[in-house]
């Protein structure tokens, strides 16, 4: 205890160095989005070292390339090495929120890259103080998070079989399907077939990734609702807030905003326009843990739930999300923190734990993950 008190009373703990490594982790099966298919996941691993030799780890990932938000692991590597790392050196790792705001001020956009650096700072701060990050954030409201599984792009019969098997084995209790890659009629027929086969045995959500226009959505949402789809994620392009509001009002289907929500100001706009029922929050797209907290405050004030999203992180980024989502009260609409289950391997010695469809909050200090140097060497891009 005396040691902890002396650490807590420490004035500052400056960063000595920030290093990056670029990895490619294979997937257990291809992961299909409306415009691209992932076969491997690129991971920018960020190692932050303090002047006292404390190491914090962060992870920069995007969902399968620059299509989602314009950033890529290659671009993030250059940005972190050339612009963010030199700024972070000398800054106080015990003030990760101030550090995140500083990064926000010097790198416009680039939330995924900034988030990776901020993540490493939170991890280092937790390790320096000997506490898990969820305690630094005010303490956990829950110690486990329900995890929706992303079903594949195989024919509807095979996908329904996969869902029924996972349900029977007690491994997942809710599912999400990607839409938008097929013509709308075909896509809706596929989803209604899967929903019909599930027969309401588990909640089923769909994610369009902004692939439809308002007319197409107005035409097809009733069939999806009729089939039992309980939540439609980002049916319209990110900028079409008024379209989302009209769809939400007319269709009666619950709408989740993902691409439309990146900043706290976006959350305020969505709430004011009554354009969403649920907000998908992610560490990467919003520039870090502290920005997600500000979004969650807006959501709670507006009476909206938050859903813990993923950019398909390893156990490191998934543990960071778990610490944040467990410590953030409004994240009460479930999560999709399935990254380590979709990746064929991990980069830590002891991956995060799943139990009966839930991700368990792990102990610290920091995010409580130990990087496996052999795995990092194995997957490092050459």
d(CA 1, CA 238): 49
196 token code pair = 């019909």
Give whichever of 99 and 324 is closer to Mg ion, judged by the CB atom. Answer: 324
Give whichever of 118 and 207 is closer to Mg ion, judged by the CB atom. Answer: 207
Helix 96-106 × helix 289-301 angle, to 10°? 90
Give whichever of 57 and 175 is closer to Mg ion, judged by the CB atom. Answer: 175
Q: Give whole-number Cα distances, 167 to 64, 174, 216, 335, in Å.
A: 27, 8, 32, 17
How would you classify residue 312: left for phi > 0, otherwise alpha for psi between -120 and 50, otherwise beta?
Answer: left
Give whichever of 181 and 376 is closer to Mg ion, judged by the CB atom. Answer: 181
Give whichever of 64 and 330 is closer to Mg ion, judged by the CB atom. Answer: 64
End-to-end Cα, the chain, rounded Å: 45
280 token code pair = 């998908």
Q: How far is the CB of 234 from Mg ion (least distance, A)?
A: 6
Q: How far is the CB of 69 from Mg ion (least distance, A)?
A: 11
Q: How far is the CB of 258 from Mg ion (least distance, A)?
A: 4
Give whichever of 107 and 244 is closer to Mg ion, judged by the CB atom. Answer: 244
Q: How far is the CB of 205 from Mg ion (least distance, A)?
A: 10
Residue showing the smallest CB distance to Mg ion in the complex: 258
**358-360 vs 144-146, strand pairing mode:** antiparallel
d(CA 254, CA 365): 38
Q: Are 241 and 216 in contact (CB under 8 A)?
A: no
Give whichever of 54 and 331 is closer to Mg ion, judged by the CB atom. Answer: 331
**Residue 105 DSSP code:** H
Catalytic residue among 233, 313, 336, 358: 336
Q: Give whole-number Cα distances, 194 to 124, 153, 241, in Å.
A: 45, 11, 29
**Residue 81 DSSP code:** I
- The length of the chain in residues reads 382
Q: Is the peptide bond before 365 cis (omega within 30 degrees of 0)?
A: yes
Catalytic residue among 178, 282, 313, 358: 178
- Reduced to 3 states (helix: H, G, I; strand: E, B; else coil), residue 47 is strand
Residues 6 or more apart in contact with residue 38 via CB below 8 angstroms: 27, 30, 31, 32, 63, 64, 65, 312
Q: Does 176 participate in catalysis according to the annotation?
A: no
Q: How far is the CB of 259 from Mg ion (least distance, A)?
A: 7
Q: How far is the CB of 77 from Mg ion (least distance, A)?
A: 24
Give whichever of 207 and 313 is closer to Mg ion, judged by the CB atom. Answer: 207
Q: How far is the CB of 41 from Mg ion (least distance, A)?
A: 16
Q: Does 375 participate in catalysis according to the annotation?
A: no
Q: Count CB-CB contacts under 10 A for residue 140.
A: 17
Q: How far is the CB of 84 from Mg ion (least distance, A)?
A: 26
d(CA 139, CA 129): 15
d(CA 297, CA 308): 14
Contact residues for Mg ion, defined by CB under 5 A: 207, 258
Catalytic residues: 178, 336
């Amino acid at each position: 205890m005396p040691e902890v008190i002396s650490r807590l009373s420490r004035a500052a703990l400056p960063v000595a160095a920030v290093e990056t490594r670029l990895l490619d982790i294979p997937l257990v099966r291809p992961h299909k989005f409306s415009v691209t298919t992932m076969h491997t996941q690129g991971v920018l691993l960020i190692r932050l070292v303090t002047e006292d030799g404390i190491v914090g780890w962060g992870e920069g990932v995007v969902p399968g390339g620059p299509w989602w938000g314009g950033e890529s692991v290659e671009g993030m590597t250059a940005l972190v090495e050339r612009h963010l790392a030199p700024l972070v050196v000398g800054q106080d790792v015990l003030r990760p929120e101030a550090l995140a705001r500083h990064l926000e001020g010097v790198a416009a956009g680039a939330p995924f890259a900034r988030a990776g650096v901020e993540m490493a700072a939170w991890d280092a701060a937790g390790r320096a103080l000997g506490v898990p990050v969820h305690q630094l954030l005010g303490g956990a409201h829950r110690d486990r998070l329900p995890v929706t599984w992303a079903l594949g792009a195989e024919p509807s019969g095979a996908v329904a079989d996969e869902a029924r098997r996972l349900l029977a084995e007690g491994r997942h209790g809710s599912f999400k399907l990607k839409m938008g890659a097929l013509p709308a009629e075909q896509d809706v027929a596929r989803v209604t077939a899967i929903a019909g086969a599930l027969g309401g045995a588990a909640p089923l959500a769909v994610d369009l990734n902004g692939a439809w226009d308002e007319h197409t959505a107005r035409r097809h949402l009733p069939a999806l609702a009729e089939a039992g789809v309980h939540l439609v994620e980002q049916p319209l392009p990110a900028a079409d807030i008024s379209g989302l509001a009209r769809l939400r009002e007319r269709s009666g289907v619950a709408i989740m905003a993902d691409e439309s929500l990146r900043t706290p100001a976006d959350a305020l706009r969505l709430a004011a326009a009554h354009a969403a029922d649920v907000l998908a929050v992610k560490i990467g797209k919003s520039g870090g843990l502290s920005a997600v907290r500000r979004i969650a405050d807006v959501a709670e004030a507006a009476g909206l739930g938050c859903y813990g999203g993923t950019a398909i992180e390893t156990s490191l980024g998934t543990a960071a999300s778990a610490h944040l989502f467990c410590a953030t009260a409004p994240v009460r609409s479930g999560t999709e923190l399935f990254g380590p289950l979709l990746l064929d391997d991990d980069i830590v010695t002891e991956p995060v734990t799943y139990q009966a469809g839930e991700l368990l909050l792990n102990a610290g200090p920091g995010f409580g993950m130990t990087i496996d140097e052999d795995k990092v060497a194995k997957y490092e891009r050459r």
